[in-house]
Amino acid sequence: MDEEEMVQGVQEEGPYDVVIVGAGAAGIGVGIAVQHAGIENYLLVDRYAVGASFRSWPAETRFITPSFPSNSIGMLDLNSVGVGISPAFNMRIEHPTGQEFADHLQSCVNYFELPIRENTDILSIDKVDEIFHLETKTGIVFAKNVIWAGGEYQYPSLGGFEGSDLCLHTSTIASYTDLEGEDFLIIGGYESGIDAAYHIARNGKKVCVFDMNSPWAEETSDPSVALSTYSFERMRNEKFEANVELFGETPVKSVVKEDGIYTLTTEDGQAFHSSVKPILANGFKGSHTFVTHLFEQREDGFPELNDRDESTTVPGMFLCGPSVRHDGHIFCFIFKYRQRFGIVAEAIASSLGLETDEFVAAYKSWGMYLDDLSCCGQECLTC
Ligand SMILES: Cc1cc2nc3c(=O)[nH]c(=O)nc-3n(C[C@H](O)[C@H](O)[C@H](O)COP(=O)(O)OP(=O)(O)OC[C@H]3O[C@@H](n4cnc5c(N)ncnc54)[C@H](O)[C@@H]3O)c2cc1C
């Protein structure tokens, strides 16, 4: 910490041109873009470690998006976080586990020599006289720009109905194989719920999945709304077909526990019983809820962003990752939100007076600089 000084016992550091909060796929990816854009005075911080969220996925959970080393013809590997990178080539794995992907992110950090500080929890962020103050347990980090990349996984959605506190959120499950019991109730039938159902059913146990919609019946080809191909394949597994019952358009009203038995009641009055905690797979409220004071909110609760993914109310505050929304477009997968890394890096680099034409041309050619959203929302042909 060269610029660190002690002022009345509080460590003050910076100002950096950019501080990126979060060293997951979004933070590492935008960190590489920031470096490519020519910015040198930047820092990545993470409350835990590189890829911490991926590292805490249930052991059996794998990427639903496949990796393939398609880079040689200018198409980035679907799970790549940066130009030139291919997790498929790096790991020789098509659907990595969370652990494997966290290792891959660490190898990106090593390769690009990203300046990263782990075990640094950002407790608050405020902008005072044009400078951001990022409070940590030991002091304050100053920054001219902040990129929030805190992700979703560590901010689960735990409420929503009576008795939801009696349930077990998927993000707290270390392994599905270790779960004891024979009959499971899963609330939520999107990717996490189907993933949980698949692993439990493969162990020969019975599962009921409840969803207020029917993600498995969606007609759209957009994987932000419909289930992925990987999940559809898994649903055709014979143990899934034999052991899993899907209840679409069936919101859960309550869960109660009596004499060691959990009773789940649906809005339409059906009751289901289990001796094990129902599993909550109802998603994440997201870390953007931590920085709401720095963004205007859209009607759906997500941050309102300008066309540079910057706050409309606090200049210099940027958002990267799965909470990025523009109109009806949901950037919740790596192959979607990485396309905005170049936009954010360019916005900051040009505000610092750096020449960005070459950077923008290179990022555009790799599909990492999506500035025209009119192409989004395209459906696949049905042939
Ligand atoms: C089960 C599951 C399967 C998925 N499969 C896929 C898939 O196949 N393909 C795909 O593209 N996406 C997939 N996703 C989505 C994918 O996980 C997210 O796109 C990705 O994790 C988001 O990366 P991120 O960097 O935004 O968040 P994270 O990976 O959560 O990283 C955020 C980082 O910020 C840090 N942090 C948070 N708050 C603070 C703070 N206050 N101070 C300091 N540090 C902080 C955390 O420690 C964490 O390391 C899946 C998600 C789940 C849950």
Ligand 1, atom nearest to 95 Cα = 8
In tens, the pLDDT along 40-51 reads 999 999 999 999
Q: Specify the residue with its C-alpha closest to ligand 1, atom 5.
A: 63
**Among 43, 53, 104, which residue has the most ligand 1 atoms within 8 Å of its CB, making it the best to mutate?**
53
CA distance 165 to 25: 29
Reading the block at residue 341, the tokens are: 């890394």
Reading the block at residue 64, the tokens are: 């639903």
Q: Specify the residue with its C-alpha closest to ligand 1, atom 15.
A: 333
Cβ of 231 closer than 6 Å to ligand 1, yes or no, is: no
Amino acid 378: pLDDT: 72
End-to-end, the C-alpha distance of the chain in Å comes to 58
Q: Specify the residue with its C-alpha closest to ligand 1, atom 53.
A: 153
Q: Answer whether 322's CB lies under 8 Å from 223's CB.
A: no
Reading the block at residue 365, the tokens are: 């050619």
Distance (Å) from CA 333 to ligand 1 centroid: 10
Q: Specify the residue with its C-alpha closest to ligand 1, atom 27.
A: 151
Query: What would the mean pLDDT of 18-45 be, rounded to a whole number?
Result: 98
Give, in order, the Cα–Cα distances in Å from 323 to each of 54, 172, 181, 331. Answer: 17, 21, 35, 7
Q: Answer whether 186's CB lies under 8 Å from 210's CB.
A: yes
Under the banding of pLDDT at 50, 70 and 90, the label for residue 375 is: confident
Under the banding of pLDDT at 50, 70 and 90, the label for residue 159 is: confident
Cβ of 334 closer than 6 Å to ligand 1, yes or no, is: yes
CA distance 202 to 219: 27
Arithmetic mean of pLDDT over the chain = 94
In tens, the pLDDT along 166-185 reads 999 999 999 999 899 999 99
Strands laid side by side in the 252-258 sheet = 252-258, 261-266, 271-274
- CATH fold of 164-280 reads FAD/NAD(P)-binding domain (3.50.50)
Q: Where are the domains of the chain?
A: 5-154+285-375, 164-280
**Among 153, 171, 175, 337, which residue has the most ligand 1 atoms within 8 Å of its CB, making it the best to mutate?**
153
Better pLDDT: 235 or 3: 235
Domains 5-154+285-375 and 164-280 belong to one CATH topology? yes
Cβ of 67 closer than 6 Å to ligand 1, yes or no, is: no
In tens, the pLDDT along 265-301 reads 999 999 999 999 999 999 898 999 999 999 999 999 9
In tens, the pLDDT along 74-97 reads 999 999 999 999 999 999 999 999
The CATH code of the domain at 5-154+285-375 is 3.50.50.60
Which range (7-21, 164-178, 325-339, 353-367) has the least confidence?
A: 7-21
Query: 12 in helix, strand or coil?
Result: strand
Query: What would the mean pLDDT of 329-345 be, rounded to a whole number?
Result: 94
Q: Specify the residue with its C-alpha closest to ligand 1, atom 13.
A: 333
Identify each DSSP E strand in 168-215 by its residue range: 168-169, 183-187, 206-210
Residue 247 identity: F
Cβ of 338 closer than 6 Å to ligand 1, yes or no, is: no
Under the banding of pLDDT at 50, 70 and 90, the label for residue 9 is: low
Instruction: Output phi, psi for 368, to 5 deg.
Output: -115, 15
Cβ of 309 closer than 6 Å to ligand 1, yes or no, is: no
Dihedral sign from CA coordinates of 172, 176, 181, 183: positive
pTM reported for the whole predicted model: 0.94
Distance (Å) from CA 114 to ligand 1 centroid: 18
